[in-house]
A and B are shown apart, each in its own frame.
Chain A
Amino acid sequence: MYTYTDFDEAFVRSRVAQFRGQVERRIDGSLTEDEFKPLRLMNGLYLQLHAYMLRVAVPYGTLNPAQMRQLAYIADRWDKGYGHFTTRQNIQYNWPKLQDVPDMLDALADVGMHAIQTSGNTIRNVTADHFAGAAADEIEDPRPVAELLRQWSTDHPEFQFLPRKFKIAVTGAAHDRAVTKAHDIGLRMMRNDAGEPGFEVIVGGGLGRTPMVGKVLRSFLPKAELLPYCEAIVSVYNLLGRRDNKYKARIKITVHENGLEKIQELVEARFDTIRAGFSGHDQELLAQIEAAFAPPSFARKATDGYEAARLANPAFRSWTDTNLAQHKADGYAIVSISIKKHGATPGDATSDQMRVMADLAEQYGHGELRISHEQNVILPHVHKSDLAKVYAALRQADLATANIGLASDIIACPGMDYCALATARSIPIAQEIATRFDELKIEHEIGQLKIKISGCINACGHHHVGHIGILGLDRAGVENYQITLGGDGTETTTIGERAGPGFSAEEIVPAIERLVTGYLGLRRDADETFLQTYRRLGMEPFKAILYPSEEKANAA
Chain B
Amino acid sequence: MAKSFTPKVVTANALLEGDAVWLTEANTWTRDIREAELMTDEAHADLRLLEAQARADEIAGAYLADATSGASGPEPTHFRETFRTRGPSNYAHGKQAELS
Contacts and interface: CB of A to CB of B under 8 A. Distances in A.
B52 to A, nearest CB: 12
B93 A80 contact: yes
B72 interface: no
Interface centre among A26, A31, A50, A417 (most CB of B within 10 A): A50
A417 B88 contact: yes
11 contacts: A51-B94, A52-B18, A80-B93, A94-B88, A97-B16, A97-B17, A98-B16, A417-B90, A431-B90, A474-B79, A477-B79
A345 B90 contact: yes
B17 A32 contact: no
Contacts of B57: 27-29
Nearest to B20: A50
B89 A47 contact: no
B90 A427 contact: yes
Interface centre among B19, B78, B88 (most CB of A within 10 A): B88
Contacts of B20: 49-50
A95 B93 contact: yes
A58 to B, nearest CB: 22
Given A29-B56, A428-B90, 17 more contacts: A27-B16, A32-B56, A47-B13, A47-B61, A50-B18, A50-B87, A51-B94, A98-B15, A416-B80, A417-B83, A417-B88, A417-B89, A425-B83, A425-B89, A427-B88, A474-B79, A478-B79
Interface string B57-100: 10011000000000000000111100110011111011100000
B56 A33 contact: yes
Contact of B88 (A28, A52, A99, A418): A418
A117 to B, nearest CB: 21
Interface string B15-56: 111111000000000000000000000000000000000001
Interface residues of B, number: 25
B84 to A, nearest CB: 6
A50 B60 contact: no
Nearest to A418: B88
Interface string A1-36: 000000000000000000000000011110111000
A80 B90 CA distance: 13
A359 interface: no
Interface residues of A, number: 32
A235 interface: no
Nearest to B54: A32
Interface in A438-489: 474, 477-479
B84 A27 contact: no
B15 A27 contact: yes
Given A416-B80, A479-B79, A47 B18 contact: yes
A47 B60 contact: yes
Interface string A29-59: 1011100000000000001111110000000
B90 A51 contact: no
A98 B17 CA distance: 6
A474 B77 CA distance: 13
B18 A51 contact: yes
A82 B13 CA distance: 23
Contacts of A431: 90
Given A49-B83, A80-B93, A97 B60 contact: no
Nearest to B55: A29
Nearest to B59: A33
Contacts of A478: 79
A421 to B, nearest CB: 11
Contact of B18 (A26, A31, A48, A428): A48
Contacts of B60: 33, 47
B90 to A, nearest CB: 5
Given A32-B56, A50-B84, A417-B83, A99 B89 contact: no
B90 A416 contact: no
**6 pairs of A and B residues whose beta carbons are closest in the complex:** A29-B57, A417-B88, A52-B18, A33-B60, A51-B18, A50-B94
